[in-house]
Amino acid sequence: MYELCPETPADTPEVEALLDLCFAPGRTALSSYRLRDGVAPVGPLCLMLRGDFGALMGAIRYWPVRVAGRPVLLLGPVAVHPTTQGEGLGALLMRESLTRAAEMGWQRVMLVGDLPYYQRFGFWKLEG
């Protein structure tokens, strides 16, 4: 059984540890992280999945950015603990957060990631 809950500031160290576990500590050197510098995440869309005994099993974050002067959500990172990968938890986080984003009025979401994985959620590759 899993509990879906919003990430709070008190959860940040635990979420960062999960991200380091899934992506390695050097992940913040990636260019997509420069888009996040000095910008607060969209709190209602930053979600976590907790399993038995409150263990963090997955997390997803979103950031507001502007592309060509238009507001866009930057999705990511999304991470699932290695012991539960393949159980659909990432898909659950994706679907729930994208539904919430649409309900909040966000019309555009972009990400940097694995196209075959994200296509099933409606994402496509921009050419150019």
What does pTM read for this prediction?
0.90
pLDDT at 1: 84
Q: Where are the domains of the chain?
A: 3-121
**Is the preceding omega at residue 77 within 30 degrees of 0, hence cis?**
yes
Query: Residue 99 corresponds to which amino acid?
Result: T
Pick from 2-16, 29-43, 60-74, 83-97: least confident: 29-43
Q: Tell me the backbone φ, ψ of residue 113, rounded to 5 degrees.
A: 180, -170
Mean local confidence (pLDDT), 27-50: 85
Positive or negative, the Cα torsion across 84, 89, 91, 93? Answer: negative
Which are the contacts of 121, defined by CB distance < 8 A and separation ≥ 6? 91, 94, 95, 98
> In this structure, which topology does domain 3-121 adopt according to CATH?
Aminopeptidase (3.40.630)
Residue 58 main-chain phi, psi, to 5 deg: -165, 160
Give me the pLDDT at residue 128, please: 60
Q: What is the pLDDT of residue 74?
A: 93
Q: What is the model's pLDDT at position 67?
A: 87
Q: Say whether pLDDT at 127 is over 80.
A: no
d(CA 56, CA 2): 10
